[in-house]
Amino acid sequence: MRDFLCLCGFLALLSGEALAENTAIIPQSRSDSGWVERQALLNQRVADIGAAAQVVFIGDSITQGWEGDGKEVWSRYYAHRKAINLGIGGDRTQHVLWRLENGNLKGVKPKAAVVMIGTNNSNSEDNSPTEILEGVTAIVHKLRIVLPGTKVLLLAIFPRGETFGIQRGKLAMINQALRRIADDKDVFWADLAPNFLTDNGTIPRALMPDFLHLSVKGYGIWARAFGWWLERADGKGVKETARHKPLKMLPYVGEYT
């Protein structure tokens, strides 16, 4: 009887693990006041610009940073496109999914949506690489359903940490699989990571002061590296696809080490 009870307990444990929910794909809001206020601001921003928006940027604090250190670069490259910044610091894939269902896309029909999300899911053991992959994939699928006429540029999750480490490796594994979402028709892939690294794999403080968030120079790299793709989304006849034509490697990274 004791052996039978032990077996039942073991099977119950396995069943519980098998049925464990992937939090990265379950839409979830946040209750902190800063997030609630930011979400309301984004919805108002979407309502004000509406269908005039040509580009939306979707992400976490790195995307929100376009309003901080990236402000001047944003004005130069994206203001004339009526671009909307839909980044909120600390967000994970589940928070973005909730936002996309609760006002962040209401009334917009942009030519392009730029997505970069997932680094916050990678903290510690919060989510596995597989779970994060599923979370980002769910966001892309949501965009394709809600905005069928919008081209999606999916960015590889940026590297983090001054040098090689477990978390950077985790993100690299996710990126290896993420790129398969791109079909070069409606969803395109871009990996800007090499532009933020030196030859020995370190991240210069001049580009990421805390080895996670971008500086002014870092946002300049982001903007210049895929400007041609936005022209393609505008229908200006650029023939290369994001998969077969690597984004331009900017030669000046080493100047900032």
Active site residue 61: yes
Residue 22's alpha-carbon distances to 83, 126, 127, 131, 178, in angstroms, are 32, 10, 8, 6, 17
Smallest CA-to-CA distance from 114 within 27, 53, 37 is with 53
Among residues 122, 191, 213, 215, the one annotated as catalytic is 213
Judge whether 80 counts as a catalytic residue.
no
Cα–Cα distance measured from residue 158 to residue 175, given in angstroms and rounded to the nearest whole number: 9
Residue 208, both tokens: 């990421």
- Token pair belonging to 151: 């081209």
CA–CA distance, 46 with 196 (Å, rounded to integer):
31
Residue keyed to tokens 């599923």: 134
Q: Among residues 61, 128, 186, 234, which one is catalytic?
A: 61
Active-site entry in 48, 126, 183, 210: 210
CA torsion 125→128→131→137, rounded to 10°?
Answer: 110
Residue appearing with tokens 């979402």: 181
Residue 58 sits at φ, ψ, to 5 deg, of: -120, 125
122 has catalytic annotation = no
Which two three-digit tokens encode residue 74? 């944003």
Q: What is the C-alpha to C-alpha distance for residues 76 and 79, in angstroms, rounded to an integer?
A: 7
Catalytic (active-site) positions: 61, 210, 213
